[in-house]
Structure 1
């Protein structure tokens, strides 16, 4: 019965809109964003980016745009939104303004935390060009995905994801309009430290490279949007050539959550990439579709997170540097998620039973001392703090972390971020009201709305790095990246668990020191997708070994190795596996920077 109803929906959708006019507006395409920000982190869940009023408790400036209408008259207004913290009604209230007239309904306080369409009532369109505005009322992360005007009688827009995507694509005219970016030797998906280093490495070896990043900045967790400092060493390498590109990306050590975003070197990272003639950089492009021929990736399709325009990228080789293993998942690469058991891996630090526990996601924050006393709004929807338990800090560090198996770090990314915000705002409200001698003149200066993820999918390669590989310092013939970080596995802080059991947002760890060890090249390509490399936190490791490999300088060196391997693969028209099986001595000579390996195709 369900399939029949879906078929009828799609058939109706494909018919011309006779005597009906529908105007569909994606809010992220607003011409003037005002103080609103684009959030694309949950694209895989809701099929779109959306706009959010991230004002840290201060209402943000209106987002505005102009919309063309096919004809004047009465239209039903629909708004796609949610109440992100419905306890019982949340903080994200906003208004929609049509030609300077606010509609009667206030959105974002429905009491439901599900994304859905809300009926905003009838509006009278009196002009061919109409001004729209999103007017924030609280500064506490109100959000709006899309706006629909329709004169179709008794029409309700769809909420089910497959139906919504078809509806969205139809009205945005996305079907069959994909632009072609061209053919590349290497398509790198993900512009964090690992992906950026992979693109630079390959380009400098003479390959034609596309670097695709779903945000406006490069650097991932090391960008000013997330503000995590780089860790791992580049100067303890067995092969000193590795780490040179990482050092170009390195902007010193501004620490975690520095309120001065300039300390993270956003502009410099982009300038380094744009200086490479062999790289085409595509920012704000979320890859959501992949094409395959047998066991090979042939192309990927990305959607601009602001304009929704789509671009197709063809490639000989691809590198998944997304952290989440997004491309690997789209194309059917084998992967693991969560912890393996001791029986499965033989690791002493492994869990007794396998499960979906992963390290969590952080949203860092910072306050600054001001000249005058300031207040902070009441936050009854936030997590509650007390004299008995609060966190007496003026700036966060890595410990502010949510996940730990209570949430899926991919499908629950929005919930995780929102839980972190409820913790941050709740604790800050307590400090402002109860510790005025220390915090009266302090003001929240910055709160990350982009989550800094640690763990999700780990794509499987021909070798899976283990705790024993690390602690025994095993030397494999294809050992490349030298890693130095401890086995650093996070868990909920016991005191935090006592007061917020099942809702932990604060982490602890026990650092297990390791001697410098090498990561085999076989961890950097897929075991079942023949032209797919990977670099970053999604490489082929166990959960335990991942605790050491995941830091960004180490991940950046993985990217450098992938660039060299892609060069070798192209030179001999072989696969990533073929580089290992047939050309390892020459490949390792490049890693070692031996003069005999300096020629290029």
Structure 2
């Protein structure tokens, strides 16, 4: 009751604020981002995207915009930011500049890693407009969420998440009805390899499809923002039809963390999707809210990560290809997070006791040779490296990974990424300043600021794939995707644990071979949300089986299967479960590419 009253108070206060002509600026909506980048990865925690100065140690160009004031007078300024590496003070320093004049406080070095509003002082507005800029001072990931100009004396904006969300939404007029995108046969949320393949597959079967991605590019972990290469085979299928769309998405094998963004084929992926007349593509759109009719999803609402404009998508069927199981979670789908116990699953590789341990998140990086020596500063705020322990690499691979149960891969996404950055910058600073013979002429050329996740929620279907299924190569009547990747479950590297116990960022693994096996279709729809499909790493498996199913070529083939299933479901006006129970022969005939298979 007390919390409800507080929320009501801030709603009423927000109404007062809008009437008092106060000005609220979301930094991600700046007209010119300069060298700053939009980060939406922690939207589920802070309720917003923000701008970040990701310069890899070199200050980035100012982000600028024009702020209009409905009336002149004195305004108190509040800046929402944090010190992301307070050891004791971090490097993310920046200034807020108004009409070329910096405010007195330097932000981002408070010694607190909590998002908070900081007092920026008072200004006297004498014109209708002011030029507002964010001026980076270090290039080391300073960040700013929002700036508030208020003419209410002694007013402090709210910091608690629920209060701040109500406050923010009102001042951005987000309580109004969102724009309508239209009605679709299939709404695919998540534009990684799985989601992109699902959208293309369904569209080519004649369905009207919306593909929604929360970043400016498609491909997810295989995009230029993350740079993980594709794994899993598409040429060992029991059903060779599966994998054809995956091959279209495949831009070759540049390895992990290649310094050339073009190696990952962002433009190719987007061009293929835009070439499909039945797909409507929405990039930069974060789905954070749903509507239901009974137990089924009726609509999803997405917010543009830059403009904050909201769009509503209605549909007959929905597919969760978010990796995090976000759509299923919002809809109340049954899911698992972490490891099951041996007693629960009977798996020899399962944990003795169930827990929240998950595989971690990687932020890859690369350096390049230069003609002359370059410098990199000492980083006292980063992880400490020494002659005894450092990682002697000029380019990262998959092992640079944080998680392992020490962090929640969803709610701690920002902390995980920041921990990875402290490891990358700290190690690189050591190499540059203590191994000059080898690294003097090398320069840090690229560091991912978008995390490449491996594991979070797994949505439960009518069947949960397990270790025995994949090691024994069991063949079920609804076996579809042929998977070939090993059981690949990561754990902290022993040496890394010795030097950074509880704060590991480097992984090891043991590859346990499997015979090619098929993944049942029943793993690709929700057991309790009647119109929800899923494809990708969040399908219905145990943690152990997930170690094999999670790689992207395999996930892409799951997407192809979902597209076929959605076609059969629409044809007979049935549910994803109904496809299995009532129309399995026809569905499997499509997957087998039999001449008698139904065609759109």
Q: Same fold (TM over 0.5)?
A: yes
Q: Greater shift after overlay, 201-210 or 124-133?
A: 124-133
Equivalent residue number for residue 437 of structure 1: 437
Cα 1:8/1:298, change in 2 over 3 Å:
closer
Aligned-residue offset at 1:2: 2.7
1:507 aligns with 2:507: yes
CA distance in 2, matches of 1:14, 1:426: 43
Give CA-to-partner distance per residue, 1:323-359, whole Å, 9 cap, x none.
Answer: 0000000000000000000000000000000000000
CA distance in 1, matches of 2:478, 2:178: 40
CA distance in 1, matches of 2:181, 2:493: 47
Matches within 5 A, 1:243-282: 243-282=243-282
TM-score calculated relative to the size of structure 2: 0.99
Equivalent residue number for residue 416 of structure 1: 416
CA distance in 2, matches of 1:396, 1:468: 34
Equivalent residue number for residue 201 of structure 1: 201
CA distance in 1, matches of 2:422, 2:14: 43
CA distance in 1, matches of 2:233, 2:259: 25
Equivalent residue number for residue 187 of structure 2: 187
Contact 1:68-1:130 within 8 A present in 2 as well: yes
CA distance in 2, matches of 1:18, 1:542: 50
Aligned-residue offset at 1:377: 1.1
Equivalent residue number for residue 335 of structure 2: 335
Matches within 5 A, 1:56-205: 56-205=56-205
Give CA-to-partner distance per residue, 1:241-272, whole Å, 9 cap, x none.
Answer: 00000000000000000000100000000000
Equivalent residue number for residue 463 of structure 2: 463
CA distance in 2, matches of 1:70, 1:83: 32
Equivalent residue number for residue 310 of structure 2: 310
Give CA-to-partner distance per residue, 1:452-480, whole Å, 9 cap, x none.
Answer: 00000000000000000000111000000
Cα 1:17/1:85, change in 2 over 3 Å:
closer
CA distance in 1, matches of 2:19, 2:580: 63
Aligned-residue offset at 1:550: 0.1
Aligned-residue offset at 1:576: 0.2
Any idea what SS the aligned residue of 2:566 has? helix
CA distance in 2, matches of 1:496, 1:101: 46
Equivalent residue number for residue 489 of structure 1: 489
CA distance in 2, matches of 1:81, 1:373: 35
CA distance in 2, matches of 1:207, 1:278: 7
Any idea what SS the aligned residue of 1:366 has? strand
Contact 2:7-2:163 within 8 A present in 1 as well: no
Aligned-residue offset at 1:21: 2.9
CA distance in 1, matches of 2:338, 2:162: 28
Any idea what SS the aligned residue of 1:226 has? coil
Aligned-residue offset at 1:177: 3.5
Cα 1:384/1:156, change in 2 over 3 Å:
same
Any idea what SS the aligned residue of 1:485 has? coil
Any idea what SS the aligned residue of 1:597 has? coil
Equivalent residue number for residue 226 of structure 1: 226
Contact 1:454-1:550 within 8 A present in 2 as well: yes
Aligned-residue offset at 1:556: 0.0
Uncovered stretches (5+) of structure 1, i.e. residues with no partner: none
Equivalent residue number for residue 531 of structure 1: 531
Equivalent residue number for residue 24 of structure 1: 24
Aligned-residue offset at 1:93: 0.2
Contact 2:210-2:279 within 8 A present in 1 as well: yes
Contact 2:233-2:484 within 8 A present in 1 as well: yes
Give CA-to-partner distance per residue, 1:211-246, whole Å, 9 cap, x none.
Answer: 000000000000000000000000000000000000
Any idea what SS the aligned residue of 2:579 has? helix
CA distance in 1, matches of 2:73, 2:264: 51
Aligned-residue offset at 1:51: 0.2
Give CA-to-partner distance per residue, 1:571-597, whole Å, 9 cap, x none.
Answer: 000000000000000000000001111
CA distance in 2, matches of 1:135, 1:497: 38
CA distance in 2, matches of 1:467, 1:88: 46
Cα 1:542/1:429, change in 2 over 3 Å:
same
CA distance in 1, matches of 2:11, 2:229: 52
Cα 1:11/1:427, change in 2 over 3 Å:
closer
Cα 1:476/1:19, change in 2 over 3 Å:
closer
Aligned-residue offset at 1:534: 0.1
Uncovered stretches (5+) of structure 2, i.e. residues with no partner: none
Contact 2:59-2:139 within 8 A present in 1 as well: yes
Any idea what SS the aligned residue of 1:181 has? strand
Aligned-residue offset at 1:18: 8.5
Equivalent residue number for residue 473 of structure 1: 473
Any idea what SS the aligned residue of 1:596 has? coil
CA distance in 2, matches of 1:171, 1:462: 44
Contact 1:95-1:105 within 8 A present in 2 as well: yes
Matches within 5 A, 1:3-14: 3=3, 5-10=5-10, 12-13=12-13
Q: CA RMSD in A?
A: 1.0
Runs of 4+ in structure 1 over 2 Å off: 1-5, 10-21
Equivalent residue number for residue 241 of structure 1: 241
Contact 1:21-1:152 within 8 A present in 2 as well: no
Give aligned pairs, total: 600
CA distance in 2, matches of 1:315, 1:56: 42
Equivalent residue number for residue 292 of structure 1: 292
Give CA-to-partner distance per residue, 1:186-207, whole Å, 9 cap, x none.
Answer: 0000000000000000000000
1:383 aligns with 2:383: yes
Aligned-residue offset at 1:73: 1.3
CA distance in 2, matches of 1:242, 1:222: 19
Aligned-residue offset at 1:171: 0.7
Contact 2:7-2:162 within 8 A present in 1 as well: no
TM-score calculated relative to the size of structure 1: 0.99
Contact 2:459-2:526 within 8 A present in 1 as well: yes
Cα 1:449/1:17, change in 2 over 3 Å:
closer
CA distance in 2, matches of 1:397, 1:14: 48
Contact 2:211-2:282 within 8 A present in 1 as well: yes
CA distance in 2, matches of 1:538, 1:329: 11
CA distance in 2, matches of 1:114, 1:213: 28
Contact 2:11-2:166 within 8 A present in 1 as well: no
Contact 1:198-1:559 within 8 A present in 2 as well: yes
Equivalent residue number for residue 590 of structure 2: 590
